[in-house]
Copies of this chain bind each other. A is one copy, B any other.
Amino acid sequence: MSKEAEMTDPTQLSQHIEALLLASDEPLSMKKLRGLLGEDISSADIRATISELESHYQNRGIRINTVAGGWQFRTAPEHAELIQQLWQVRTPRLSRSALETLAIIAYRQPATRGEIEALRGVKVSSNIIASLQERGWIKVLGRKEVPGRPHLYGTGRQFLIDFELNSLSDLPDSAQLMDEDEIQQIVAENQAELSESQDNAPPHQDDNSEQDPIYDNEQTSLQTETGNPEIIQADIGPAEQAS
């Protein structure tokens, strides 16, 4: 109390931002903040003030989080269990199929249901699509102009808001995700090498000299794969840096 009183009061700007962030029912973007605070306050000032506020709140029960291109007051994650008690209903757990479907849509968008099914190797139930839609995590972006004109799904803004992402590029590991062509290339190269080493016939080996270092790294890692699926991903990182 006494210490607090000695402190310099938060600036007017800081107070305004705090009040706005609390009062808003969605994350407030820089653009919205500028519009509300008046044009004579620069983005730089706002940014600096927010970063002060962020550190002010960093050890408190509530935080200022960066979400969906804006800022919002949220509770600190370590109090989740306590807060859950406020409600009778417990948050239902997401099934693996829902998460896999969501992950494929998030990383591959726009994606059709057929594409999701092809990747997962199983039928995707409409219940899953519908419940993801109801949560606002996915939405129909349009239709794919192929026979049947299937819906194209992508993530909605609520996905960013709920998963604490500032933008889609904040999706973890999105840069490392391999597309089909890359995967096929890796498979082809690895299988070619395997069959060569099996036959003890090294005539094509010189071809490897022009191979992308990424694949060599991956090959090594994949061959020593220990059942941990993280390894594929984990190894691409360094390889990418190398390239």
Contacts and interface: CB of A to CB of B under 8 A. Distances in A.
Given A10-B60, A89-B36, A19 B179 contact: no
A87 B26 CA distance: 11
Given A10-B59, A10-B60, A36 B179 contact: no
Interface residues of A, number: 62
A17 B83 CA distance: 10
A22 interface: yes
Q: Count the copies.
A: 2
Interface in A47-73: 52, 55-56, 59-62, 73
Interface stretch (A124-132, A198-206, A233-241): A124-132
Contacts of A89: 32, 35-36
Nearest to A83: B23
Interface in A174-223: 176-182
Given A22-B61, A52-B1, A182-B127, A82 B9 contact: no
Given A24-B86, A176-B151, A19 B130 contact: no
Most chain B CB within a 10 A radius of its CB, from A19, A24, A74, A76? A19
A15 interface: yes
A227 interface: yes
Interface in A1-57: 1, 3-10, 14-20, 22-26, 32, 35-37, 52, 55-56
A60 B126 contact: no
A149 B227 CA distance: 10
A177 B130 contact: yes
A77 to B, nearest CB: 10
24 contacts: A1-B55, A3-B8, A4-B56, A10-B60, A15-B59, A15-B61, A15-B79, A16-B61, A16-B79, A18-B60, A18-B61, A18-B62, A19-B82, A20-B82, A23-B83, A32-B90, A35-B89, A36-B86, A125-B179, A125-B181, A126-B181, A126-B182, A130-B179, A140-B172
Interface of A: 1, 3-10, 14-20, 22-26, 32, 35-37, 52, 55-56, 59-62, 73-76, 79, 82-83, 85-87, 89-90, 125-127, 130, 140, 148-149, 151, 172, 176-182, 227, 229
Closest 5 CB pairs of A and B: A126-B179, A18-B61, A15-B61, A19-B61, A19-B79
